[in-house]
Amino acid sequence: MKKDFKFEVYLVTDRDLAKGRSLDWVVEEALKGGADIVQLREKDMETAGFMEEARRIKAITDRYGKTLLINDRIDVALAVGADGVHIGQSDMPYHDARRLLGPNAIIGLSVESYAQAREANDLEVDYIAISPVYRTPTKEELTEELGLEGVRKITGISRHKAVGIGSIKAYNAGDVINAGADGVAVVSGICSAEDPQAAARELKQKVEEAKGK
C-alpha cells in the first residue's frame, strides 16, 4: 500500500546552505516545525556516503512519521528503503523508475514548462514540482522563472498535485498556494535559516492560512 503523505511544507536539503551545521540537525528541526516531506538531495556525494547519510535521515523521518524521498538516485532509495524518489527531466525516465521501485513508491517529477506539465498528465506520478516559481541560485541552470502566472497555468492543466519550488519564503508562500499549488518546496528558506524549526513553522502557518485552515 502506498504511503499517505502530506504535502504542505516540503524540505529539499542542501548541505552547502546549512552554514556548517549538521544536516541531520537541520532536518530534525524542520520536522519539529512542521515540515511534511524531506527530499534528500546530494548531487556530488559518492554513493557509499550518500547511502550512509540517507539511512541517518530515514531514521529521523521515521521517528517523526514523515516522508523521505531521494533526489534522482533510484539505487539509493531502494537500498535504504526510502518512501520514493524525485526525478527531473534529465534523470531516469518515469516508467523505468516506476518499474524498479514498484507501485507503492512515491514518485515526483519536476516540470519547467507548460509542455512538460501536459506530458506529465500521461504519467502516474504522485505529484509535480513546478520549477522555478522565482529565479533561484539553487537552480542556476534554470534562467526563466515561471512566476505566479506560470503556477496558475500549470496547475490549471495538470491532473496531479503540485508543489512550487524556487526562492519561496514565508512572505510569498501564501501567494504560491493561492496561485494553485498544494504545497511549497523550500531549500535555503529552511536550510540557511538561523532557526530552521521556526522557519518551517512559519511556512506551515502561511500555507495553512492560504488554504483557509
Return the DSSP state at 107.
E
Could you give the CA distance from residue 45 to residue 178 in angstroms, rounded to a whole number? 37
Long-range contacts of 45-48, Cβ-Cβ distance < 8 Å, separation of 24 or more: 47/73, 47/75, 47/76
The catalytically annotated residue of 73, 110, 158, 188 is 110
- Please confirm, yes or no, whether 41 is among the known catalytic residues: yes
The DSSP code sequence of 149-186 is HHHHHHHHH-SS-EEEESS--HHHHHHHHHTT-SEEEE
* Neighbour-count burial for 175-197, b at 16+ CB within 10 Å, e otherwise: bbbebbbbbbbbbbbbbbbeebb
Active site (annotated) includes residue 135: no
The residue from 58, 73, 139, 206 that is catalytic is 139
Can 15 be counted among the known catalytic residues?
Answer: no
CA distance 59 to 61: 6
Euclidean distance between CA atoms 103 and 25, whole angstroms: 32
Query: Cα separation of 13 and 29, whole Å?
Result: 12
Q: In 3-state terms, what secondary structure has residue 16?
A: helix
Contact 196, 203 (CB under 8 A): no
Catalytic member of 41, 58, 98, 201: 41
Q: Catalytic residue positions?
A: 41, 110, 139
